[in-house]
C-alpha cells in the first residue's frame, strides 16, 4: 500500500489529473474544468506569456520579450521551471542587441519545449553573430574567436542569405584575411566533397592537392550537369510538342533522340529532374490512350526510364503508372505479366497500398478470383485504415457477401482509462498539456503532446503490464480526442497503426473520426448527408475552427472569403471562424457543387479542393469514363487525388460509426454518387 503512494490515479474514464508537488492553497485558487482536472487558474494566462516569449525572441523584439518575462510568474512547479529558459533567452537577446555575443552554444534542455526554445536561441544567435562578423570593419585574422565561429558554420558558403555579405567581406579584406578565406573555402570542399557558390572559387589559392581532390571527386562535373540536364529537358519538350500536335511518328523520333541523349550522358544529368521529366510526361501521354492507341508504347517507354532513374521513394510511383497504363488500355494479360516480372506477389507487403490494391483488382478483372481474394485480404490486413482497403472490402463482397467490415475493424480489448494508475511524471506532463490546451496554444500543446507520445510506458503507468505499450497508445488517442486536440489524436493513431502497436478498433475509429459539430450540420436542413460534410471538415481543418491556410481559406470548411461572399455579401473575413456561419455557407457551397456535377462525388470534391476552373479543364482533356476507380487515379493534381480518396475513406468510417451497413451492398460506382434534392 505504501508503495502506491508515489502514484496518482485516474479514477474515471475522463482523465482527472492531479499536479505533483502543487502547493496547498485555498480552494478558490483552483479552477475545476468539466473533465475534473485541477490546476491553478492563473497558469492558463501564464502559458500565453510563455509562448509570446518564443515569437518575441524570433523577431528579436526586446520590449515584447521583457514584457513576457516580467509577466511570466506561474504558480505550478511544472510551468515555473521554464522561467530559467526565458531568463537565459532574454540575456542572450541583450547580448545580440549589443553585439556582444561570446558564443551561441545552448543548454540541451530538459523536455521538448525547452529544447525547442534553445534551438531557436542558437539559430537566431548564430545568424546574428555571422551577420555581425561579416558586417564588421575589423579583420578576421585579428580575432581567433570569429575565425573559429565561421569555421564551425561553413554552410554560409552555399547559403543565399550570406552570399553578398561574405563576398564583400572577402573583397575588402587584407592579405592575411584573404589567406584565411582561401583556407576556409578549401576546408569546405574537403569536408563536404562539394563546391561552394562558384563566385567564391576565384578567392581560393589553387594548389595541386585541392586540384587533385576536385578531379577525383568529379566536383566540376557536377556543376556541368546543369547544362546537360537543361539540354535533356529541351529534347523532352520537343517530344511533348510533337505529341500534343498529334504527330505521333515525329513524337516517337523525338523521344528516341531524348532517350539516346540521356543514355550517353546519364552520369551528367540530374537524376531527380530526369525522373520528373520521364514520369510526368509519361502521365501526360498516358491520359490520351483512349484517343491515341499509338501513345501506349510512348507512355510505357517513358515510365520504364522513370523506373530506371527513380530514387527509392519514387520507384513505386513509376511502377504503378506502368501497371495502370496496361489496365487503362485493357491489356490485362500484359498487366499480369508486369506484376510477375516485378515480383509484386513475392514482395506484396513491401508495396504501396495503391500497388497492392490494383494488383489484386487486375487479377479480379481477369477473373482470377482466388488470387484476387488472397491479395485483397492481405491489403486489408496491412493497411486497414487506407482508402484502398475499403475498396478491397467492397470487391471482396462481390466475391463472397459474407465479408463484412469486421475484417477491417477488430474487436475492442481496450477497456478505457477507468482506474488506470499513472506515475507522477505522467500526470505532471498531462497537467501541462491541459494548461496549454486550455490556453489555446497549439504551439505548446503540440510540443507537449510529443513529449507524452515519447514518454516510455514504464514511466507512464504505475503498474507493470505486458500490454502497457499498447495501452499507452490507446490512452493518448482517447485523451487527445477528449481534449479536442484532434490533429494530435490523428498523429497518435496513424503512427501506432503503422507500427502495428494497436489495431483498428471502434475506440481508435471514434478517436480518428470525431462527430463534433454534427448537430450544427443537421440544423442546416440540407438534403446532403451530414456525414459527407463531417468527412470534408475532418479533411479541411481537422475540426479546428480557427484554421487558416497559406492561401487564406478560413474556418472549419476552409472557405475563401470571396467564395463565402457569394452567399453572404457583407461578410467580414473574421466571421468565417464562427462554426455556425462557416458550416452554413460551406454546406450551401457544397450543395451547389453537388448539383453542378450531378451528384458525382469525385468531381464535387475535386472542385471543392482545386476549383471549378481546373475541373472544367480536366473534363475536356482527360478521358474520364464509367470506370470510377480509374477516374480517381487520373486526377492530375496529387493533392486533389489524395483529397478525394481521404474523404471517401472518412465517409466510410462515419457510416460505420452510425452502424449504417447498407452502403456495403451498393455497387462501387454508386458509392461515388451523392444523392441530393436541391
Active site residues: 540
**Nearest CA to 641 among 274, 244, 283, 275?**
283
Q: How big is the CA angle at 420 (ends 416 and 426), to the nearest 5 degrees?
A: 110
Number of H helices and number of E strands within the chain? 32, 4
Contact 674, 604 (CB under 8 A): yes
- Euclidean distance between CA atoms 181 and 310, whole angstroms: 39
Q: Which helix (H) or strand (E) holds 100?
A: none
User: What 3 state SS string does 471-533 have?
Assistant: HHHHHHHHHHHHCCCHHHHHHHHHHHHHHCCCCCCHHHHHHHCCCCCHHHHHHCCCCCCHHHH
**Nearest CA to 258 among 244, 269, 245, 247?**
269
**Nearest CA to 85 among 34, 61, 126, 51?**
51
Contact 654, 646 (CB under 8 A): no
Looking at the DSSP assignment, which residues form a beta bridge with residue 422? Answer: 8, 461
Strands 38-40 and 421-423: unpaired
Long-range Cβ contact pairs of 108-113 (< 8 A, separation 24 or more): 109/85, 110/81, 111/451, 112/447, 112/448, 112/450, 112/451, 112/454, 113/82, 113/444, 113/447, 113/448, 113/451
* Rounded alpha-carbon distances, angstroms, from residue 381 to 76, 344, 384, 406, 477: 46, 17, 6, 11, 21
- Please report, in angstroms and rounded to a whole number, the separation of the first and last CA atoms in the chain: 66
**Nearest CA to 80 among 108, 39, 120?**
39
Using only C-alpha atoms, what is the Rg of the chain? 30
Looking at the DSSP assignment, which residues form a beta bridge with residue 18? Answer: 38
- Euclidean distance between CA atoms 376 and 399, whole angstroms: 11
Contact 369, 403 (CB under 8 A): no
**Nearest CA to 594 among 538, 533, 553?**
533
- Euclidean distance between CA atoms 451 and 454, whole angstroms: 5
Task: Give the count of beta carbons closer than 10 Å to the beta carbon of residue 23.
Answer: 10
- Euclidean distance between CA atoms 165 and 278, whole angstroms: 40
Amino acid at each position: 500500500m505504501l508503495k502506491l503512494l508515489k502514484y496518482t490515479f485516474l479514477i474515471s474514464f475522463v482523465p482527472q489529473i492531479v499536479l505533483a508537488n502543487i502547493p496547498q492553497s485555498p480552494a478558490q485558487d483552483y479552477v475545476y474544468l468539466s473533465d475534473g482536472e485541477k490546476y491553478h487558474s492563473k497558469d492558463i494566462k501564464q502559458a500565453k506569456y510563455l509562448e509570446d516569449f518564443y515569437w518575441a525572441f524570433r523577431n528579436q523584439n526586446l520590449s515584447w520579450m521583457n514584457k513576457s518575462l516580467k509577466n511570466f510568474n506561474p504558480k505550478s512547479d511544472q510551468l515555473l521551471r521554464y522561467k530559467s529558459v526565458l531568463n537565459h533567452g532574454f540575456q542572450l537577446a541583450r547580448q545580440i542587441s549589443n553585439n556582444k555575443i561570446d558564443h551561441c552554444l545552448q543548454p540541451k534542455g530538459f523536455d521538448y519545449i525547452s529544447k525547442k526554445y534553445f534551438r531557436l536561441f542558437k539559430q537566431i544567435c548564430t545568424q546574428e553573430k555571422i551577420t555581425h562578423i561579416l558586417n564588421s570593419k575589423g579583420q578576421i585574422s585579428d580575432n581567433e574567436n570569429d575565425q573559429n565561429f565561421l569555421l564551425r558554420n561553413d554552410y554560409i558558403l552555399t547559403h543565399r542569405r550570406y552570399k553578398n555579405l561574405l563576398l564583400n567581406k572577402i573583397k575588402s579584406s587584407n592579405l592575411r584575411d584573404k589567406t584565411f578565406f582561401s583556407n576556409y573555402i578549401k576546408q569546405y570542399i574537403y569536408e563536404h566533397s562539394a563546391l561552394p557558390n562558384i563566385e567564391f572559387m576565384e578567392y581560393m589559392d589553387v594548389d595541386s592537392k585541392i586540384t587533385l581532390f576536385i578531379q577525383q571527386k568529379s566536383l566540376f562535373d557536377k556543376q556541368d550537369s546543369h547544362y546537360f540536364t537543361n539540354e535533356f529537358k529541351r529534347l523532352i519538350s520537343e517530344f511533348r510538342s510533337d505529341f500534343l500536335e498529334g504527330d505521333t511518328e515525329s513524337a516517337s523520333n523525338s523521344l528516341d533522340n531524348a532517350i539516346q541523349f540521356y543514355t550517353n550522358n546519364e552520369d551528367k544529368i540530374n537524376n531527380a529532374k530526369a525522373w520528373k521529366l520521364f514520369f510526368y510526361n509519361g502521365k501526360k501521354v498516358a491520359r490520351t490512350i483512349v484517343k491515341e492507341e499509338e501513345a501506349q508504347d510512348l507512355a510505357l517507354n517513358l515510365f520504364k526510364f522513370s523506373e530506371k532513374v527513380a530514387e527509392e521513394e519514387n520507384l513505386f510511383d513509376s511502377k504503378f503508372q506502368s501497371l495502370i497504363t496496361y489496365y487503362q488500355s485493357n491489356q490485362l494479360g500484359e498487366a499480369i505479366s508486369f506484376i510477375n516480372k516485378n515480383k509484386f506477389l513475392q514482395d506484396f507487403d513491401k508495396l504501396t497500398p495503391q500497388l497492392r490494391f490494383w494488383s489484386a483488382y487486375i487479377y479480379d478483372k481477369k477473373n482470377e478470383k482466388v488470387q484476387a481474394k488472397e491479395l485483397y485480404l492481405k491489403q486489408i490486413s496491412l493497411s486497414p485504415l487506407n482508402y484502398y482497403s475499403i475498396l478491397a472490402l467492397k470487391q471482396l463482397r462481390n466475391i463472397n457477401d459474407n465479408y463484412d467490415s469486421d475484417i477491417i475493424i477488430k474487436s475492442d480489448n481496450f477497456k478505457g482509462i477507468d482506474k488506470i494508475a499513472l506515475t507522477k511524471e505522467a500526470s505532471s506532463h498531462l497537467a501541462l498539456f491541459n494548461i496549454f490546451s486550455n490556453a489555446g496554444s497549439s504551439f505548446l500543446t503540440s510540443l507537449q503532446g510529443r513529449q507524452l507520445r515519447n514518454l516510455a510506458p514504464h514511466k507512464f503507468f504505475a503498474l507493470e503490464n505486458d500490454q502497457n505499450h499498447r495501452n499507452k497508445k490507446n490512452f493518448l488517442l482517447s485523451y487527445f480526442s477528449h481534449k479536442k486536440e484532434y490533429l494530435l489524436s490523428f498523429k497518435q493513431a496513424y503512427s501506432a497503426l503503422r507500427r502495428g502497436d494497436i489495431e483498428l478498433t471502434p475506440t481508435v475509429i471514434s478517436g480518428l473520426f470525431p462527430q463534433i459539430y454534427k448537430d450544427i450540420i443537421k440544423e442546416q436542413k440540407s438534403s446532403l448527408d451530414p456525414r459527407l460534410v463531417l468527412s470534408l471538415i475532418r479533411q479541411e481543418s481537422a475540426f479546428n475552427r480557427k484554421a487558416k491556410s497559406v492561401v487564406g481559406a478560413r474556418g472549419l470548411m476552409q472557405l475563401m472569403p470571396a467564395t463565402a461572399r457569394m452567399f453572404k455579401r457583407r461578410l467580414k473575413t473574421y466571421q468565417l471562424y464562427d462554426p455556425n456561419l462557416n458550416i452554413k455557407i460551406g454546406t450551401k457551397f457544397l450543395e451547389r457543387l453537388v448539383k453542378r456535377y450531378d451528384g458525382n462525388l469525385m468531381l464535387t470534391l475535386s472542385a471543392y479542393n482545386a476549383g471549378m476552373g481546373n475541373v472544367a479543364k480536366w473534363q475536356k482533356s482527360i478521358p474520364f469514363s464509367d470506370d470510377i476507380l480509374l477516374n480517381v487515379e487520373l486526377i492530375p493534381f496529387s493533392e486533389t487525388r489524395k483529397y478525394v480518396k481521404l474523404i471517401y475513406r472518412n465517409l466510410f468510417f462515419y457510416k460505420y460509426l452510425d452502424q449504417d451497413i447498407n452502403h456495403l451492398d451498393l455497387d462501387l460506382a454508386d458509392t461515388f454518387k451523392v444523392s441530393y434534392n436541391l
